[in-house]
Amino acid sequence: MAVKKIGSQTVKLLNPPSIIATASLVGPKEGQGPLGNYFDKVLEDDLFGEDSWEKAESKMLREAVSTVISRADLKNVDIDYLFGGDLLNQLMSTSFAARDLQIPLFGLYGACSTMSEALGLSAMVIDGGFADLCIATTASHFSTAERQFRYPLELGNQRPLTSQWTVTGAGAALLGKHKEGPYITHCTTGKVIDYGIVDANNMGAAMAPAAADTIGRHFDDTNTLPEEYDLIITGDLGRYGRDIASDLLKTKGYQVIKNFTDCGIEIFDPKKQDTHAGGSGCGCSAVVFSGYLFKLLKEKSLNKILLVSTGALFSPTSAQQGESIPCIAHAVTIESKKMN
Amino acid sequence: MAVKKIGSQTVKLLNPPSIIATASLVGPKEGQGPLGNYFDKVLEDDLFGEDSWEKAESKMLREAVSTVISRADLKNVDIDYLFGGDLLNQLMSTSFAARDLQIPLFGLYGACSTMSEALGLSAMVIDGGFADLCIATTASHFSTAERQFRYPLELGNQRPLTSQWTVTGAGAALLGKHKEGPYITHCTTGKVIDYGIVDANNMGAAMAPAAADTIGRHFDDTNTLPEEYDLIITGDLGRYGRDIASDLLKTKGYQVIKNFTDCGIEIFDPKKQDTHAGGSGCGCSAVVFSGYLFKLLKEKSLNKILLVSTGALFSPTSAQQGESIPCIAHAVTIESKKMN
């Protein structure tokens, strides 16, 4: 068998699965941001016709999956597996969406790293010959995340400048054996890294070491350099986290400056939108990839990117018990052409 | 490429990965149950030297993984991936254990179905050539689950007879390309099924339809009959759930009576241990498999089993919002010999 595992944490896909189509839905605030025109649907109201934000989040995920299926002229029964997750306890959004979708589900939890975790596993399962078509999907919602992880919104707490704004949005990507790109060519799976950050309003600083670890490992394993990528884009480190990750990568011998950004930085305009350090939430990298990056790869404005969704495995319970925030980042290389 | 996907929800592993070794730790109550002698370690105190039950649960998971690694004369760096999860919000046990273990992590949430989800994904990733060695692991703890999903233990609430007792325990299975069995030969991935049960103290009834759906699908897909299995064992339906699943399977044309049991039924003695309908929790099928079934497969007292971990994707938030309990079940066929 040809070598698929390269280095310590990376696999190379020998017949790289294609990303056939994507879909994205976002809330009103995300629709007003710099990428607003790229998303398939901008909700007028973040309740999306439901009677709770949690149900709205679940409906967004379901709609993202349904949209990507119909866009590819397929039916739900054609999809082998759904790889998905969200930030809510017990994956409430994904579980309820999957109940309606009736597609076999692998439930994932990687906090905001879930999109690249789902893309990586989908790609491996297809390349391994176990599935023809998989969907990777995640969602998040500002109002559900705030009340689950921080404070009731009704309190109107002031937000420090290091805080990030959880993206209201859902993205879905359909993967399969397909002639046209873009293709997932490599996956680097992260370890849990924890530098001792305890501030739930500074997730960027908490996640930056995990991002730097996975990105550095990816370059080591694939024997590539940052300049070989048109874009290296983390999930949601925000401004401060991006700078810390950049500094940490420098200590590993990698200069990532010009082509290194973050989905959380791209999605909002911090001056006009009062979003402080940037966007976050597992919907953030999901919609920035599904809505924006996929289109640039499709039209070949981008030819090779490293998408690195980053997750703070933050638990209110562990925080109350005095623990710091363990973090993880998973990376996938996405290329517009197959390079074998 | 040979056909790996058979039927609608099942894959056949062409070079079935072997389960090289397992490890199991349980709490004092589980140690006093009918399977007590099979487990590697019985804790004297369910705090396991920690200052919270959550930290104890995480330590159990970490110890299960470390034990299985040393049992196979390996080191942490030899393991390609950890596929794991638990019941705690944000996978607190798994996340913190993985921080110490420093093995690349795919975090999974499938509630009590997580063990077979992890076994199935590990098997596919190995058979697909992406990894040499993976560990599937889960843990649960009575005291963490009760206070997260139901009531504070201090209230001393009375438990209805349909309620189940969350197993305090952690199990880990090391999978790889190995000469000796047992082997994982098939995986059937479940859909989310919800028949409208709303009672958080009757998880067996909620999960039974999902179990019956996956088991029936497995027989359909593999063209096998129940009598071809030495044992068909669900994760934690308990007594009532097992009977409901058995009835539902009858309506699908499958008679599963003699060789159909449940990990939750096997682990406790309901008369002596006051555990009502049986055990539950994602540690339940993990320790019953890792501690007990694995040994019977190894010594060939069992030659072919269908392990069907069952998960109630129950969320306190969704319950408060008037929703019923969506459930899922994943099945893996484990055989002592390769049958190709």
Tokens for A47, please give them.
């309740």
Mutate to test the interface with A, among B10, B106, B332 (most CBs of A within 10 A): B106
Q: Residue B11's closest chain A neighbor by CA?
A: A130
Task: List helix spans (H) across A32-157.
Answer: 53-71, 92-101, 114-127, 142-149
Q: Residue A98's closest chain B neighbor by CA?
A: B192
Cα within 13 Å of Cα(B230), Cβ side? 13
Q: Chain B contacts of A194, Cβ < 8 Å?
A: 99
Q: Is the pLDDT of residue B153 over 80?
A: yes
The alpha-carbon gap from B91 to the nearest alpha carbon of chain A, in Å, equals: 7
Q: From the list B108, B110, B317, which residue is nearest A92 (CB)?
A: B317
CB contact under 8 Å between A96 and B323, yes or no, is: yes
- Domain containing residue A309: CATH number: 3.40.47.40
Q: Is the pLDDT of residue B165 over 80?
A: yes
Q: Chain A contacts of B110, Cβ < 8 Å?
A: 106-107
**Chain A residues 110-169 with a CB less than 8 Å from chain B:** 110-111, 117, 121, 124-125, 127-132, 148
pLDDT confidence of residue A339: 65
Residues A291-306: what's their mean pLDDT? 98
pLDDT confidence of residue B257: 79
Mutate to test the interface with B, among A89, A194, A327 (most CBs of B within 10 A): A89
CA–CA separation, B312 and A99 (whole Å): 12
Tokens for A303, please give them.
């030819």
Where b means 16+ CB within 10 Å and e means fewer, A167-203 reads: bbbbbbbbbbbbeebbbbbbbbbbbbbbbebeebbbb
Q: Is the pLDDT of residue B299 over 70?
A: yes
Q: Is the pLDDT of residue B1 over 60?
A: no
Residues B44-50: what's their mean pLDDT? 97
Residues B237-247: what's their mean pLDDT? 97
Q: Is the pLDDT of residue A1 over 70?
A: no
Q: From the list A1, A104, A313, which residue is nearest B191 (CB)?
A: A104
Those residues whose C-beta lies under 8 Å from the C-beta of residue B333, and which sit 6 or more positions away, are B184, B185, B186, B187, B218, B222, B229, B304, B305, B306
Task: List helix spans (H) across B111-192.
Answer: 114-127, 142-149
Q: To which H or E segment does residue B232 belong?
A: strand B231-234
- At residue A3 the predicted structure's pLDDT band, cuts being 50, 70 and 90, is low
Strand extents, DSSP E, B145-204: 165-166, 169-176, 183-188
CA–CA separation, A90 and A220 (whole Å): 35
| Residue A95 in contact with partner chain B when CB distance is under 8 A | yes
Q: From the list B108, B131, B314, which residue is nearest A5 (CB)?
A: B131
CB contact under 8 Å between A129 and B128, yes or no, is: yes
Helix H, strand E, coil C: the string for A246-295 is HHHHHHCCCCCCCCEEEHHHHHCCHHHHCCCCCEECHHHHHHHHHHHHHH
Q: From the list A111, A189, A323, which residue is nearest B81 (CB)?
A: A189
Interface ipTM: 0.98
Residue pair A302/A181 in contact (Cβ under 8 Å)? The answer is: no
pLDDT confidence of residue B338: 77
Residue pair A280/A236 in contact (Cβ under 8 Å)? The answer is: yes
Residues B239-256: what's their mean pLDDT? 97
CB contact under 8 Å between A90 and B80, yes or no, is: no
Please give the full DSSP string across B69-93, using - where no structure is assigned.
HHHTT--GGG--EEEEEESSGGGHH
Of the ranges A153-157, B17-21, B27-31, which one carries the lowest mean pLDDT score?
A153-157
Residue pair A79/A71 in contact (Cβ under 8 Å)? The answer is: no
- In chain A, % of residues over pLDDT 70: 99
Q: Is the pLDDT of residue B340 over 60?
A: no
pLDDT confidence of residue B2: 54
CA–CA separation, B200 and B302 (whole Å): 34
- At residue A338 the predicted structure's pLDDT band, cuts being 50, 70 and 90, is confident
- At residue A2 the predicted structure's pLDDT band, cuts being 50, 70 and 90, is low
- At residue A11 the predicted structure's pLDDT band, cuts being 50, 70 and 90, is very high
The alpha-carbon gap from B37 to the nearest alpha carbon of chain A, in Å, equals: 33
Which of the 8 DSSP states describes residue A60? H
| Residue A55 in contact with partner chain B when CB distance is under 8 A | yes
- A-B CB pairs within 8 A amount to 183
Tokens for A201, please give them.
């309003």
Q: Chain A contacts of B191, Cβ < 8 Å?
A: 98, 102-105
The alpha-carbon gap from A2 to the nearest alpha carbon of chain B, in Å, equals: 8
> For the whole model, what pTM was predicted?
0.98
Q: Is the pLDDT of residue A303 over 80?
A: yes
Please give the full DSSP string across B240-291, using - where no structure is assigned.
HHHHHHHHHHHHTT---STTEEEHHHHH--HHHH--TT-EESHHHHHHIIII
| Residue B198 in contact with partner chain A when CB distance is under 8 A | no
How does pLDDT run across A255-293, given as a tens digit for each residue?
997 899 999 999 999 899 999 999 999 999 999 999 999
CB contact under 8 Å between B5 and A125, yes or no, is: no
CB contact under 8 Å between B318 and A96, yes or no, is: yes
| Residue A319 in contact with partner chain B when CB distance is under 8 A | no
**Chain B residues 294-313 with a CB less than 8 Å from chain A:** 313
Q: Is the pLDDT of residue B16 over 60?
A: yes
Residue pair A275/A27 in contact (Cβ under 8 Å)? The answer is: no
CA–CA separation, A49 and A69 (whole Å): 22
Residue A41's domain comprises 1-340
Q: Chain B contacts of A321, Cβ < 8 Å?
A: 51-52, 54-55
User: Angle B155-B109-B287 (CA atoms, 0-180°, nearest 5)?
Assistant: 75
CB contact under 8 Å between B326 and A128, yes or no, is: no
Q: From the list B1, B81, B192, which residue is nearest A98 (CB)?
A: B192
Number of structural domains found in chain A: 1
If phi > 0 it is left, if psi is from -120 to 50 it is alpha, else beta; for residue B322 that is left
Phi, psi of A246 (to 5 degrees): -60, -45
- How high is the mean pLDDT of chain A? 96
